[in-house]
Amino acid sequence: MLGLSLAVLKYDYTWPYKPIPLATSIPPTPRPTPYLVRRFWGYVHRLLVRFSYHYYCRWNGIQFLGQIHQLPFGLILKWSDGTRLEEALTMQVARAAGLPVPRVICYGEHPDTPHAPVSILMTRMPGVTLFRELWEWYEPEEKASIISELRTYLNTIRSWPSPWQPPTRICAASGGSIRSIRVPDKQVGPCQDEKCFNKYLLEAARYDPDGSLEQYKERVSQVAELHSKNHKIVFTHGDLTPWNILVHEGRVSAILDWEASGWYPEYWEFTTAWRFTPPGDWWYEIIKDLAEGEYLDERAGDLAVRALTADAIVGW
Model confidence at 315, pLDDT cuts 50, 70, 90, reads: very low
Please enumerate in sequence order all residues whose Cβ is within 8 A of that of 238, keeping only pairs 6 or more positions apart, or say none: 178, 180, 258, 259, 260, 261, 262, 264, 268, 269, 272
**pLDDT (tens digit, 9 = 90+) per residue, 231-267?**
999 999 999 999 999 999 999 999 999 999 999 999 9
The model's pTM: 0.93
What is the per-residue pLDDT for 308?
A: 86
User: With DSSP H G I counted as helix, E B as strand and the rest as coil, what are the percentages for the chain, rounded to 5?
Assistant: 40, 15, 45
**pLDDT (tens digit, 9 = 90+) per residue, 122-177?**
999 999 999 998 999 999 999 999 999 999 999 999 999 999 999 999 999 999 99
Q: Is the pLDDT of residue 230 over 60?
A: yes
Closest residue by Cα to residue 261 from 88, 138, 118? 88
Helix axes 296-308, 194-202, angle to 10 degrees: 40
What is the per-residue pLDDT for 3?
A: 55
Q: What average pLDDT does the segment 86-113 reach?
A: 97
Phi-psi region for residue 293, left (φ > 0), alpha (ψ -120 to 50) or beta? Answer: left
